[in-house]
Amino acid sequence: MMLRVPEVLTKQQVAHCRQVIDAGEWVDGAVTAGRQSATVKHNMQLPEGSKAAVEMGNLVLDALARAPLFLSAALPLKIFPPLFNRYQGGEHFGTHVDNAIRNVGGSPHRVRTDLSATLFLCEPEEYEGGELVVEDAYGVQEVKLPAGDMVLYPATSLHHVRPVTAGARVCSFFWMQSMVRDDGQRTLLFDLDSAIQDLTRESGIDHPVTVRLAGVYHNLLRRWADT
Mean pLDDT of 118-137: 96
88-104 pLDDT per residue, tens: 999 999 999 999 999 99
CB 159 within 8 A of CB 80: no
Domains present along the chain, CATH in parentheses = 3-178 (2.60.120.620), 183-224 (4.10.860)
At 137, the pLDDT band (50, 70, 90 cuts) reads: confident
Q: Quote the pLDDT of residue 33.
A: 62
Q: What is the pLDDT of residues 163-179, one digit of tens each?
A: 999 999 999 999 999 99
Q: What is residue 38's predicted lDDT score, i.e. its pLDDT?
A: 66
172 DSSP β-pair partners? 84, 119
Can you say how many angstroms the Cα of residue 128 is from the centroid of all Cα atoms in its chain?
22
Predicted confidence at residue 141, as pLDDT, reads 95
DSSP string of 135-163, one letter each residue: EETTEEEEE---TT-EEEEETTSEEEE--
Does residue 36 have a pLDDT over 70?
A: no
Q: How far is CA 217 from CA 67, 189, 223, 225, in A?
A: 20, 7, 10, 12
Instruction: Measure the CA–CA gap between 148 and 152, rounded to whole angstroms.
Output: 13
Yes or no: say if 104 and 81 are a contact pair by the CB < 8 Å rule: yes
The 10s digit of each residue's pLDDT in 54-78 is 999 999 999 999 999 999 999 999 9
- Average confidence (pLDDT) over 35-47: 83
β-strands 127-129, 164-178 pairing? antiparallel
Residue 106: its pLDDT value, please? Answer: 87
> In this predicted structure, what is the pLDDT of residue 5?
98
DSSP code of 75?
Answer: -
Give kind and range of the element (H or E) at residue 8. none
90 within 8 A of 163, measured Cβ to Cβ: yes
* pLDDT of the residue at 144: 98
Distance CA 88, CA 165 (A): 7
Mean pLDDT, range 106-135, rounded to an integer: 97
- 225 SS3 class: coil
Kind and range of the H or E element at 84?
A: strand 83-88
- Single pTM value for the model: 0.94
- In the prediction, which pLDDT does 76 show? 98
Strand 115-120 and strand 44-45: the pairing is unpaired
pLDDT (0 to 100) of residue 35:
63
| pLDDT for the residue numbered 37 | 65
Average pLDDT, the chain: 95
Give the angle 174-111-219 at the CA atoms, nearest 5°. Answer: 100
